[in-house]
Amino acid sequence: MAKLGGLYYGPCLCSYLNLGDGSMITIRVFLPHDFKLATQTPNQSQRRAFKLTIPKPKMSMPVSQDDVCLIKKEFVGIPPPPNTHLPTSSELLNLCPAETPRGHAALPAESPVFWVKYGYAMFWNEVVAQDKAYHELRRLGSVVRAPGVFYAFRYRATIYIVMEYIPGKTSRKCIEEAKTEAEKEHVLDQVGLGVSELHRIPVASGSRPAAINGGLIRHALFDEQEAPRHYENAEQLENHLNEFLWRVRRTEKITYMSLEPMVFCQSDYWPDNFMIDDTGCVVVIDFSDVSILPSSFASCAAKRTGLGFENLGYDIFERVWFPKTEGVDNTQALLAACGRMPIGWAMLAKPILPLSASQ
């Protein structure tokens, strides 16, 4: 395990160990910063060969009641509506195959009350973040909604979430069906309002940068949307990123990040992650990549080009409110590092030197 109190600027090797019963554990090895893996940088084909993939868990169907003992985590949220049957874990295991990367189902099929998301490519952070957003948005009296979570559990490597079924259409679908430019602009304004309201969710003083469930930061800045290590505070995160920017010969530098307000940061602006319900209000429906982060991470996520709403020809950045500290804005510096973390193969051929004050 990496030492939380220190800074490792060296590489991180990651592997997945199959335990034989379909469950897996993640092994991360943080190498010393002077570790030399090879004298030469691997070529592109070698890089592709080294890239790890998550194996699909195997299981036999149908699932018996005895398999319930393989449930690793459980979450009990808001109570279900009166006179409804909340699906049990065994019922969901038989209905929703665990070998699916991502799937969904509306229950009951004839008159849906519950929306079930499941898959081995999902993250437990989504459960915790969505539940927090649901309660905090209601506490703020916001018109923006997040579906309430009734029940969630992890079976082997697969996560199941039973949440509110909210009739509506995704923002992508609404834009595609809009007959006028004004209708499209209204949908985009609603999405901007949805993200802005998430930024109003209170963050406890002294919170460290982390996923909502306390795990590794999940943000589009990092390779595969996950930070390579834990961070004790914003200053430690700033030092690591500046060391990285220096190593890849970028001139941008992050400054005074510890002075930025910490926010409930949604970093995935995919149009299908937002929907407009039947009353015309926006609903945020995906919370996998939400973390507590300095506010520049929020503006960085909205500013990224070539992703999300940019594919539809629209810029969402100007429609979102970001809490700021006057005179402090690290958006451009973060964009310079976006998608480059963790430290890549070129870093393995030579030791990483300390970053001096002059650099």
| Per-residue model confidence as pLDDT tens for the chain (359 residues) | 333 333 333 444 444 444 444 444 444 444 443 434 333 334 444 434 334 444 444 444 555 555 666 788 999 999 999 999 999 999 999 999 888 999 999 999 999 999 999 999 999 999 999 999 999 999 999 999 999 999 999 999 999 999 999 999 999 999 999 999 999 999 999 999 999 999 999 999 999 999 999 999 999 898 888 999 999 999 999 999 999 999 889 999 999 999 999 999 999 999 999 999 999 999 999 999 999 999 999 999 998 755 578 777 788 899 999 999 999 999 999 999 886 555 443 443 334 444 444 34
DSSP-derived 3-state class of residue 201: coil
What is the Cα–Cα distance from 349 to 352, expressed in whole angstroms?
Answer: 9
Q: Which amino acid is at 285?
A: I
Distance CA 98, CA 160 (A): 9
Categorise residue 288: left if φ over 0, alpha if ψ from -120 to 50, beta otherwise. alpha
Run of H or E including 118: strand 114-119
| Residue with token string 């189902």 | 105
Both tokens of 77, joined, read: 């949220």
pLDDT, position 5: 36
Give the whole-angstrom CA distance, residue 261 versus residue 325.
Answer: 7
Q: CB–CB of 238/254 below 8 Å?
A: yes
CB 348 within 8 A of CB 11: yes
What pTM was estimated for this model as a whole? 0.77
Give the pLDDT score at 86.
97
The pLDDT assigned to 348 comes to: 35
Give the residues across from 301 on adjacent strands: none
pLDDT at 260: 97
Determine the pLDDT at residue 254: 97
pLDDT of residue 101: 94
pLDDT score of 64:
56
Nearest to 169 by CA among 266, 272, 269: 272
Asked whether the CA dihedral 215, 217, 219, 223 is positive or negative, the reply is negative
| pLDDT given at position 31 | 42
pLDDT of residue 9: 36
